[in-house]
Chain A
Amino acid sequence: MRISVEVDGSSYTDDVEPRTLLVHYLREHLGKVGTVVGCDTSNCGACTVLLDGRSVKSCNVLAVQADGRQVTTVEGLAEGDELHPVQRAFHECHALQCGYCTPGMIMQTIDLLSENPDPSEEAIRHGLEGNLCRCTGYHNIVKAVQMAAGSSSSAFEGSTS
């Protein structure tokens, strides 16, 4: 099937097998390997991207479902050397160690903060429940989300386009 998708601001048109998952389309067709696969049961959230501005687990979306829509991956957040506020907060708070869950965590955090710009610790913890991290014990991830929430909230409105 032929699909046209906008990913991180560039337009792509490709023929894909109907069964192709969005994450495999991103990685194997487009070389967008910043988005990773961590499980096969939609539990880990490592593959989280934004689809028309809302977070989805891209292992749980078919590439054909992204036809005509906009996808934002972790590779599309920074503007040149200028990191996205959530990226900066993860760096500042040491919210990553091996970094494998990080692309998904960052994308889910952007979605969480666009829904709720001033979340409580409990709201953060529940908002990230679908993203697994094995390194950090979540402690510093929660702090990073709090730090990002304290930075300019307008950053999150612009991030999804």
Chain B
Amino acid sequence: MTVTDQPKGGEIGAARRRKEDRRLITGRTRWTDNITLPGMLHVAMVRSPFAHARITSIDAEQAKDAANVVAVVTGADIADEQGTMITAWPITPEQNTPNHPPVAVDEVAFAGEVVAVVVARTAAEARDAAELVEVDYEELPAVLDLKEAVKDEVLAHADLGTNKSAFWQLDSGSAGTGRPIDEVIEEARADGIVIEREYRQQRLIPSFMEPRSAVCDPTGEQITLWSSTQIPHICRFALAATTGVPESKIRVIAPDVGGGFGGKLQIIPEEWIVFCVARRLGRPLKWTETRSESLVSGHHGRDQWQKLTLAATKEGRVTGLKVDLTCDLGAYAGIVGGGVPVLGAWMFNAIYKWDAYQINISNYYTNKTWVDAYRGAGRPEATYAIERLMDELAVEVGVDPLEIRERSWITHEEFPFTTVAGMTYDSGNYEAATARAKELFGYDELRAEQQKRRESNDPVQLGIGVSTFTEMCGLAPSRILGQLNYAAGGWDHAEIRMLATGKVEVVTGTSPHGQGHETAWSQIVADRLGVPFEDVEVLHGDTQIAHRGMDTYGSRSLVVGAEAVVRAADKVIENAKVVAAHMLEASEADLEWSAGRFSVRGTDKGVTIQEVALASFTGHNLFDDAEPTIDATAAFDPDNFSFPHGTHLCAMEVDTETGATSMRKYVAVDDIGTIINPLIVEGQVHGGLMQGIAQALWEEAVYDDAGTLVTGSLVDYTLPTAADTISFETDHTTSPSTYTILGTKGVGEAGTIASTPAVVNAIVDAVRHLGVNDIRMPCTPERVFRAIQSGGVTTEPAQARPHFDADAGNQESLPPEGEAR
């Protein structure tokens, strides 16, 4: 009997409606801000209005005297007990990492940093009193622009002596995974095609809908912290590691969490503050941020300059790419921090076969909000760069952008394939996904329409954008993380408890915040154990219940966390088999396992696994020395990443007279391996698409030259609304992962990674005949209009940007960063 061969019970692949929904649609949800404890006090933060300043004095007397204020605490008051914020990923042993106290003690390094904490009986009283705290600052010069930071003329942190955090390189020549890049570029310069571009990944704000909140109860034996976080386990570890409180005395709970998108993949100063001050006062505390606080102090995403040199043969086969990334970490290194661009390092080569590849990553600090993971984390940036370049190459060669990709992509017969970056892709079928996308899109018809509009000089032009992407998901094999100097492992953990009443508790180390794990894990376990979907209860997000786990991010939960669940289920079956044999008075070898039931071969005798669970619970009739339980735990550490891929096609209409754009059609065909729940998968794709489209069209965190976040409310940080957007067409091809039992690959980030270049490619395609070959994101009507007006002709001296061909046209014709959008 092998448990992996059991027939499917029909749950995997079914569009089950979610178990989570009932509480969410009736308002019975447990958000952190909904928690109220006896004697609970409320916290308001006093934040620095300056980007870089020395704190010279803090006068809290007036605030302390205000009605119902219990305490005002400064950084100096708790300097020795507040712990410190840490990064898990110093990307080199030499990385410069600034100290990051939760409450600033001497200096602030960005506008929005906490300088004092007010505790009062109500949230309103705490906020009122926060206004009364008088902080004197001595302003220091602030470095805000990333390219200025590179010069080291003004320092974000004087004590580091430089703004540079670290340099990291991946080079196919020295790694032996390909040829030296310079050789390949020289060949292309002599007898091929070289395309040089510089692209901007603007700064974004994750903008989860639930503002962050933390509640700490210091009474009782364990100190309990509820937090709106993606990472309760990592939070607990880091609290213990930096405060000296034993890990066994800390319980972290992520109750219902309202979205994250990487924005809650962070340990945050406010958690440390609430933890510290609650212990100091011996009273439960709650902090809930306003949206304005969230935008200015929650970490941002992206923020890179990408300098790119693509080499190809005359026929358009790509031979190599050199990437120089300059990345803004903001004021501090967050939990993933400098590692975010590193996560993109294996993805610039995407689905292609090249001779050579080199990436040079330089990370810098500035006096702006810190930057860390945002949906896709490194991989959208990489995908954007290569997929924009592939369109440029198609133009250069004079062929269709899908045709140019086909000349370099890995064909389906070539898997498993080790790339020029050294990753081994296990499976995929780029031809199949592309063929299906073209069919759904009506590619040829839209090309014909585009041609007609060109010829008739229609003021509204049509553009078609292509993105054939892949990503690496399932973070991550611990062995590889160790090689990359990451501080923790990438495994996950599960436990399955078989209850006496036949119910099954599944404990997972992942920490969902909208992904629907309660439903999907139930489907997986229902099939695996042959029990009803309704009998499975999934528990998560509490370090006392799910005592081991690595949480939810990087499209890892299904690929790593659910694989642990499968392995725990298989152990339960093995445990149950021994008991069943005893109950049936048969030898184990004579048992057959099917659909949740052990039966004696050739007879009608049998017991269900739920009956075995009851027998184990009573313990009345077990074999000698039997443990009275069939429960099991399992941990799973993946051997490799998983590599979902897909072909996305986007049609954009561009009004050449106004620069206004509108989306006509979007088709996404994704190959994410085996699908557990198509309904949930579609939802992930839709939401992911929207976030990637929003980067292309609308979103940008903008600072003024004093370092104040101009897009500091949802009035100015323009999230897409229902009226801005269209319905999508999605479909799937299926190439199961060969590294996982279930064959899944992960889907959380796919849409975001693929869609940004598809949209920008479409806009550029619509106006390329007007001399435009790039428009900086977000492609607002103003930027599109200016690009059309300038016809791509550079307005700056060519020598200012020697990386470019002077007549190539690029982003020089656009307003400098931070100007009106």
Contacts and interface: CB of A to CB of B under 8 A. Distances in A.
A22 to B, nearest CB: 14
B682 A133 contact: no
Contacts of B720: 138
B292 A134 contact: no
B727 A139 contact: yes
Interface in B195-242: 207-211
B26 to A, nearest CB: 5
Contacts of A101: 209
A99 B211 contact: no
A40 B24 CA distance: 22
B261 A134 contact: yes
B17 interface: yes
Interface stretch (B99-107, B251-259, B626-634): B251-259
A99 B682 contact: no
B786 interface: no
Given A46-B209, A125-B722, A91 B25 contact: yes
A24 B34 CA distance: 12
B713 A39 contact: yes
B268 to A, nearest CB: 18
A124 interface: yes
B221 to A, nearest CB: 28
Among A77, A87, A106, A139, the most chain B Cβ lie within 10 Å of the Cβ of A139
Contacts of B68: none
Interface stretch (A29-37, A62-70, A149-157): A29-37
B722 A142 contact: yes
Given A83-B26, A128-B721, A100 B259 contact: yes
B20 interface: yes
Given A100-B210, A132-B209, A141-B722, A36 B26 contact: no
B453 to A, nearest CB: 23
A139 B17 CA distance: 16
Contacts of A139: 682, 686, 727-728
A62 to B, nearest CB: 14
B516 interface: yes
Contact of B208 (A40, A98, A121, A126): A98
Contacts of A91: 17-18, 21-22, 25
A128 B26 contact: no
Contacts of A135: 209, 259, 514, 683, 687
Interface in A30-58: 32-41, 43-44, 46
Interface residues of B, number: 56
A125 to B, nearest CB: 4
B24 A137 contact: no
B76 to A, nearest CB: 30
B690 interface: yes
Contacts of B22: 91
A133 to B, nearest CB: 7
B621 to A, nearest CB: 40
Contacts of B28: 34, 75
Interface residues of A, number: 57
B21 A77 contact: no
Contacts of B715: 41, 43
A100 B292 CA distance: 18
Contacts of A94: 17-18, 679-680, 682-683
A20 to B, nearest CB: 8
Contact of A134 (B26, B291, B516, B687): B687
A161 to B, nearest CB: 18
Given A38-B291, A44-B209, A97-B687, A90 B714 contact: no
Contacts of A102: 24-25
Contact of A40 (B27, B292, B689, B728): B292
A73 interface: yes
B725 interface: yes
Interface in A112-142: 121, 124-126, 128-142
A133 B689 CA distance: 13
A132 B29 contact: no
A34 B24 CA distance: 8
B424 interface: no
A74 B27 contact: yes
Interface string A67-92: 00000011101100001000100111
A134 B209 contact: yes
Contact of A133 (B31, B209, B723): B209
A52 B725 CA distance: 31
11 contacts: A28-B122, A39-B713, A40-B291, A99-B21, A100-B210, A100-B258, A121-B727, A132-B721, A136-B683, A136-B687, A139-B728
8 shortest interchain CB distances as A-B pairs: A34-B27, A99-B24, A98-B514, A100-B258, A137-B690, A137-B686, A43-B714, A97-B514
